[in-house]
Chains A and B, each alone.
Chain A
Amino acid sequence: DAKTTQPNSMESNEEEPVHLPCNHSTISGTDYIHWYRQLPSQGPEYVIHGLTSNVNNRMASLAIAEDRKSSTLILHRATLRDAAVYYCILRDEGGAQKLVFGQGTRLTINP
């Protein structure tokens, strides 16, 4: 499974945008970029995914670099409920379907 690299922790303020980076320099052409997050004492939950183009949904936006070797999850206006561990995961369209979680980024939101 292709590897991703994320900062261990990040901190932001409430109602400000948050940009969570992810490096995946060995990404292959069939790897999708998925983001999940895990709130305290809960199971992970899906946030967003994409292949090449930037993606938006009600939770977040995903910006994918042109060479696909990095991506950024964008929370447009963070709230205290966004405090969680965010995982960036590569999933091969044609390969194993399991989610391979790394350490993720622990996001702290200050009031």
Chain B
Amino acid sequence: EAGVAQSPRYKIIEKRQSVAFWCNPISGHATLYWYQQILGQGPKLLIQFQNNGVVDDSQLPKDRFSAERLKGVDSTLKIQPAKLEDSAVYLCASSPRVVLETQYFGPGTRLLVL
């Protein structure tokens, strides 16, 4: 079974530029998560989708971050404009359903904002 795919793996941009990350979850997984992991900290949930609907985006900085999950499969996370403090690893995870299911994580996208 193929795992969660993410691209790009690395991205370097200057502050105030925009950037987008892509995630392809495990086939058939209804729930998709985006996490932000700042160096030295544990991952923090940004947004959770159930199929193509948003379940939780309470910690998503909506003035600059946006995410969508078209047709309930792939997802993109966008930052516009980026700030220095957005430098982090952005992790995508998926699970078959929601209730206490194991989450499967992708390798992450490492973003550096200069």
Contact = CB atoms under 8 A, between A and B. Distances in A.
Interface of A: 32, 41-46, 49, 85, 87, 91, 93, 96-104
Contacts of A46: 102-104
Q: Is the interface of A mostly helix, strand, loop or mixed?
A: loop
Q: Is the interface of B mostly helix, strand, loop or mixed?
A: loop
B91 A98 contact: no
A103 B107 contact: no
Interface string B71-113: 0000000000000000000010100001111111111100000
Nearest to B55: A97
A45 B103 CA distance: 8
Contacts of A99: 43, 45, 103
9 tightest A-B CB contacts, nearest first: A101-B42, A43-B105, A46-B102, A98-B45, A97-B98, A101-B43, A43-B91, A44-B105, A43-B108
B24 interface: no
B5 to A, nearest CB: 11
A41 B56 CA distance: 26
Given A43-B105, A43-B107, A97 B42 contact: no
Contacts of A87: 42
A32 B99 CA distance: 12
Contacts of B108: 42-43
Contact of B56 (A85, A98, A102, A103): A98
A85 B99 CA distance: 25
